[in-house]
Structure 1
Amino acid sequence: MAYPRNNYDVGLEDSTVYRYLCPTRKAGSIIGKGGEIAKQLRSETGANMRINEALPGCDERVVTIYSTSEETNGIEDDGEFVCPAFDALFKVHDMVVAVEHDNEDGYDDDDDEYSEKQTVVTARLLVPSDQIGCLIGKGGQVIQKLRIETNAQIRVINDNLPICALAFSHDELLQIVGEPLAVREALYHVASLLYENPSRFQSYFLSSSSNLHQPGGLLMSPALTSSRNNYSASRDAADAREFSICFICPAENVGGVIGKGGCFINQIRQESGATIKVNTSETDEDDDCLIFISSKEFFEDQSPTVNAALRLQTRCSEKVGKDSNDSAISTRVLVPSSQVGCLIGKGGALISEMRSVTKANIRIVQGEHVPRIAREDEEMVQITGSLDAAIKALTQVMLRLRANVFDMDRGLVLLPTFFPYVSQTRETSSKPRQHRKRENYSHGEVARDEDYGSQMSSNSPRRNRVY
């Protein structure tokens, strides 16, 4: 596939990037236990692959596949060579399609994988606006020719995009629908055209530190629902892990967290699928209490814990600033000392990146400055900023902690830099309080062998209170 390329000077002069949309329920087929399948794909093809976290309200995950544009990989046993990203794109597509047919009733394993007996399949790619023209052509000539030659339905969609699309690059959606062979042939032509015409935006697709959040605030998303419906009976229950988060909540906010007769907290439990516990056993009237959120999860599914925590964040936070009408809030989360390293990074690189992306003040509070309600082996993450910034920052913190729980490296999992979450309420404590804080970046190896849920024990040692 020796095509001339139109390269832009964006720092990735000779690279190829594809962004394939994988249905969330099928993500496990390309991730594998502990990321084994994804790592194998990277090893076999020489391409890099990043899989975005599942976002509430979106039933697809972006798989970003990229590599050098040098044509090093043989394909189709016909002597043709393609770049590693091109090779990996088709391996990912083939896996997703194979999983779809394996789940269909009456599928015959002896049939060819792309037999005409199989049902209609769909392939969807995100394409930036500066690349979409090469697929359409003058007067639509290119896309019409592709439709005729492949007998596939090929559409370019520029409205009602999935929330995983990047508004900054004016993403459009390319959708290919048809019989498996037709879709694969059309995808081949599309991938070739995109290879010939790289986007000037592609450096941003590969940078988790770029500020790609949607302009004008957060996106409104559909109601957050439990990811339990996405669970597959065929998956190994041993792959599921407990993921939890613990808010420090002002005592005066507890009523808002629970709701009249427990109506609000029960609603969040039902809609998110998470377990939520309120610990006020050692709380005086003016003290803090703990809001503990947990769930048993599979990595490839949306997180009930993340969903519930984002719904509860504003109710567990307090307003900051002299004016109680200010929108700035402060959110406090307890994190085991053994896990704080995944938030800080070498030389503080990760926490600096989160601050840059979210525009929030994120601090790690340690030692005597941690509230007494915490255990001796816990530290506090304090997030302060506008409502928008605080929600984004909490999301970054939780997704990094969750990836750490599942032992996933950041080369495999790309954390989103914009977030389609919206809090259902802005109720926070109207009494701003001062908390003494101290940051410390001296952390070593991150351990993962302690169940955070056990830290809610009522007889755990407490620190002396510091004001």
Structure 2
Amino acid sequence: MASTLRNIHGKRSNLQSELTGNGGSKRRNLHDDTDQNVIGSEETVYRYLCPVKKTGSIIGKGGDIAKQIRSETKSNMRINEALPGCEERVVTIYSTNEELNHFGDDGELVCPALDALFKVHDMVVADIDHDDGNDDDDLGEKQTVTVRMLVPSDQIGCVIGKGGQVIQNLRNDTNAQIRVIKDHLPSCALTLSHDELLQIIGEPLVVREALYQVASLLHANPSRFQHLLLSSSSSMHQPGAMLMSAALTSSHRNYAVRRDIADAREFCVCFICPAENVGGVIGKGGGFINQIRQETGATIRVNTSETDEDDCIIVISSKEFYEDQSPAVNAAIRLQQRCSEKVGKDANDLAISTRLLVSSSQIGCLIGKGGAVISEMRSVTRANIRILQKEDVPKIAREDEEMVQITGNPDAAMKALTQVILRLRANSFDMDHGLVLLPTSFPYIPQVTENSSKSKYAKRDDHRKLNSNSKRRNYVS
């Protein structure tokens, strides 16, 4: 195997340098937030598709396993949030080539990204072995595994070769089934880099050898688009995807790694809803709210005990593991427009205002150092995002809560809500945000709105019914 990767740590040719720009950057501090969203033109990048139900094996509790991989390999690794309807999550692994790691039994020197790629792959494959219950004495059919990776269109040619010669040689040398798929890509593929799907199928050792050879080719031929691969400054995901109307697949049902239900955490989204919108949230005979409960698996409660003449509280919650798709996030996105207030001046100027209550202890994850996070969210979503405190918060809020207000057209407001609640969720699970790559938006089904035209919510005063020590709100269905 060593001979197949002779140049994995060598310098790239002058021609490649001319195509990709001026050299690589210095090794980044793994915890340096200022560089986490940038990939240099000379760095090595792999985007491995991990089945949603296997991501727990590479994330670990609180991100411990992912952090260990980054530390041991001296590479960077980001894990995309799961998109509803998509059965895979993108694991983006990247590093400079200034440092080399010993790899395999023969101690081959490779770039850190390749080392991390195989640590991730080996964990996923081991997880599959555990799922299938295979053992050395099994004389049945041979086990096969599948590797899927996203590769930009300007980079995939190094794997295919002129007239398909390279990919055919790879097939002959490894006995693996290797395909490049251009159509029917997963919704996590990116449009800006014109992604194509590289798929390798075969017995575990065969796939490992093929992946090794493919990884060396991708290392030697970086994409001109790779500086965009971590960017969240534009809508990068494939358009047209729809949120599943059925309940999202719950990965813990077939989860190979043992998980203690006691480790699941409750994640909660708390909307301030105009009182006149509550009927639209509930629906006739409770039909709409029950439909969303059934389709998402989230608990949705309307808090009538703390309703004033203008507003009431809608609480959406679910007990979940971080690596699973979130019922609460799904339900919140679908309920957003019904819980929001119409603020556009006329039919041609449709805009909504969404208000969330957030614990003061969590609000920092939405602001960031020097306001960096909230500025980025505004830039990404083109929505107006404000954080209101103290006297500017409606009196329906508790003393230890602040209000996040999102205003914009329905699409911008949905993107902003997605950004906000995913950051709150990562914070609730104590996740290192450097491990999590947030999507620009979630696919969704538009909801009919029945909103008021003018905001009338009152400000917080000294006569509130609750204080910061009160128990979390009482709910009625």
Is the aligned partner of 1:455 residue 2:472?
yes
Distance, in Å, in 2 between the alignment partners of 1:347 and 1:335 is 19
Distance, in Å, in 2 between the alignment partners of 1:158 and 1:292 is 42
Which residue pairs with 2:21 in the alignment?
A: 9
Which residue pairs with 1:446 in the alignment?
A: none
Distance, in Å, in 1 between the alignment partners of 2:454 and 2:163 is 60
Is the aligned partner of 1:361 residue 2:384?
yes
Which residue pairs with 2:227 in the alignment?
A: 203
Which residue pairs with 2:319 in the alignment?
A: 296
Letter in 2 for 1:364: I
Please state how far the C-alpha of 1:297 moved relative to its aligned partner.
0.6
Which residue pairs with 2:115 in the alignment?
A: 87
Which residue pairs with 2:411 in the alignment?
A: 388
State the SS of the aligned residue for 1:351. helix
Distance, in Å, in 1 between the alignment partners of 2:157 and 2:100 is 27
Distance, in Å, in 1 between the alignment partners of 2:450 and 2:348 is 11
Is the aligned partner of 1:331 residue 2:354?
yes
1:131-180 CA distance string (max 9 Å, x none): 01111111111111111221111111111111111111111111111111
Distance, in Å, in 1 between the alignment partners of 2:320 and 2:44 is 34
Q: Given that residues 336 and 452 in structure 1 are in contact (C-alpha distance below 8 angstroms), is that contact kept between their aligned partners in structure 2? A: no
Please state how far the C-alpha of 1:420 moved relative to its aligned partner.
3.3
Which residue pairs with 2:28 in the alignment?
A: none
Which residue pairs with 2:129 in the alignment?
A: 101
Matches within 5 A, 1:113-152: 118-152=142-176
Distance, in Å, in 1 between the alignment partners of 2:184 and 2:202 is 21
Is the aligned partner of 1:373 residue 2:396?
yes
Task: Note the aligned Cα RMSD (angstroms).
Answer: 2.5
1:74-94 CA distance string (max 9 Å, x none): 122224211000111011101
Letter in 2 for 1:188: Y
Q: Classify 1:380/1:267 alpha carbon distance in 2 versus 1 (closer, same or farther; 3 Å).
A: same
Is the aligned partner of 1:69 residue 2:101?
no
Is the aligned partner of 1:192 residue 2:216?
yes
Decide which of 181, 192, 196 is 1:157's aligned counterpart: 181
Q: Number of paired residues?
A: 438
Please state how far the C-alpha of 1:325 moved relative to its aligned partner.
4.9
TM-score normalized by the length of structure 1: 0.88
Distance, in Å, in 2 between the alignment partners of 1:218 and 1:246 is 28
State the SS of the aligned residue for 1:248. strand
Letter in 1 for 2:287: C
State the SS of the aligned residue for 2:106. coil
Q: Given that residues 226 and 270 in structure 1 are in contact (C-alpha distance below 8 angstroms), is that contact kept between their aligned partners in structure 2? A: no
Letter in 1 for 2:429: F
Please state how far the C-alpha of 1:210 moved relative to its aligned partner.
2.8
Q: Percent identity, please.
A: 68
Q: Given that residues 332 and 383 in structure 1 are in contact (C-alpha distance below 8 angstroms), is that contact kept between their aligned partners in structure 2? A: yes
State the SS of the aligned residue for 1:426. coil
Distance, in Å, in 2 between the alignment partners of 1:281 and 1:413 is 37
Matches within 5 A, 1:121-270: 121-207=145-231, 209-214=232-237, 219-223=241-245, 225-228=247-250, 230-231=252-253, 232=255, 234-270=258-294
Deviates more, 1:5-14 or 1:189-198: 5-14
Q: Given that residues 305 and 474 in structure 2 are in contact (C-alpha distance below 8 angstroms), is that contact kept between their aligned partners in structure 1? A: no
Distance, in Å, in 1 between the alignment partners of 2:459 and 2:470 is 25
State the SS of the aligned residue for 2:361. helix
Please state how far the C-alpha of 1:13 moved relative to its aligned partner.
3.7
Letter in 2 for 1:269: R
State the SS of the aligned residue for 1:264. helix
Q: Given that residues 328 and 384 in structure 1 are in contact (C-alpha distance below 8 angstroms), is that contact kept between their aligned partners in structure 2? A: yes
Distance, in Å, in 1 between the alignment partners of 2:457 and 2:382 is 20
Decide which of 367, 374, 384 is 1:344's aligned counterpart: 367
Q: Classify 1:197/1:55 alpha carbon distance in 2 versus 1 (closer, same or farther; 3 Å).
A: same
Unpaired segments ≥5 residues, structure 2: 1-5, 26-39, 461-467
Q: Given that residues 219 and 419 in structure 1 are in contact (C-alpha distance below 8 angstroms), is that contact kept between their aligned partners in structure 2? A: no
Q: Classify 1:300/1:313 alpha carbon distance in 2 versus 1 (closer, same or farther; 3 Å).
A: same
Please state how far the C-alpha of 1:434 moved relative to its aligned partner.
6.3
Deviates more, 1:420-429 or 1:188-197: 420-429
Q: Given that residues 118 and 180 in structure 1 are in contact (C-alpha distance below 8 angstroms), is that contact kept between their aligned partners in structure 2? A: no
Please state how far the C-alpha of 1:306 moved relative to its aligned partner.
0.1
